[in-house]
Every structure is written in C-alpha cells, then in structure tokens.
C-alpha cells in the first residue's frame, strides 16, 4: 500500500489585497486518495492512479466551486518525492510535495 505524507500551500486571494496570501497545510496520500488539509479548509480527491516512484507524470482536471483546476503531479528523483501543482485560469492556487514517511523531507513540516 502506497502511503505518503507531506506539506501543501494554498494561495488565497483576499478582497482587499493585491497579492495572494500563502496558507501552509499538510498533505497525505493513501493509495489513490490525496488529502490536503489547511486551517480554513480541506480538499480531498482521488488520483487517476496510485503514485509510483519513477512513474509517469499525472495531469488531470478537477471541478470545484470556483471553476476547473488543472493538477499536475510528477516524481522528482533528486528529492525522492512527488511534487504537485494546481492551477486555475493560469495561476497557481495549490502547491504540494509528498514523500515516504521515513524521508528526511519530513522535517519540512516544521516550517
């Protein structure tokens, strides 16, 4: 069973701010189910397939309350981790990285 953990960032657009504000969260993957947890919201969805080290990149669309989001997930061999990004209307709204629980990247949670 493929289980991973990691960190995630959601970029929030505030009505009175010109810049998007980053919100740090956590990421977990169990088989094909990914969960991104943030202080103000949670996002969970099924991946097209379970992530595999050295496997092919995944790109898929997900419908949400504010429109479609395109998600890309790829294996980064130098990190021994997966890196993902969610974009809406060409702008990044989510970034996340997940890895095996025994990875040294687990220290990123202390950010």
Write out pLDDT tens, residues 30-54.
Answer: 999 999 999 988 989 899 999 999 9
Q: What percent of the chain has pLDDT over 90?
A: 66
**For residue 81, how many C-alpha atoms fall within 13 Å in the half-sphere facing its CB?**
19
Question: Does the reported pTM lie above 0.85?
Answer: yes
Average pLDDT, the chain: 90
CB atoms within 10 A of CB 68: 11
| Total number of residues shown for the chain | 111
Question: What is the SS3 assignment for 107?
Answer: helix
How would residue 75 be classed by pLDDT, with cut points 50, 70 and 90? Answer: very high
* DSSP structural state of residue 33: E
* DSSP structural state of residue 2: -
């Amino acid at each position: 069973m493929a289980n991973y953990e990691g960190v995630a960032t959601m970029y929030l657009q505030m009505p009175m701010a010109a810049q998007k504000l980053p919100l740090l969260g956590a990421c977990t993957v169990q088989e094909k189910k990914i969960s991104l947890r943030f202080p103000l919201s949670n996002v969970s969805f099924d991946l097209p397939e379970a992530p595999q080290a050295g496997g092919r990149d995944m790109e898929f669309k997900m419908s949400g309350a504010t429109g479609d989001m395109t998600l890309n997930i790829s294996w980064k061999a130098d990190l021994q981790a997966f890196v993902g990004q969610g974009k809406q209307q060409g702008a990044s709204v989510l970034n996340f990285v997940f890895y095996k629980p025994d990875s040294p990247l687990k220290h990123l949670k202390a950010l």
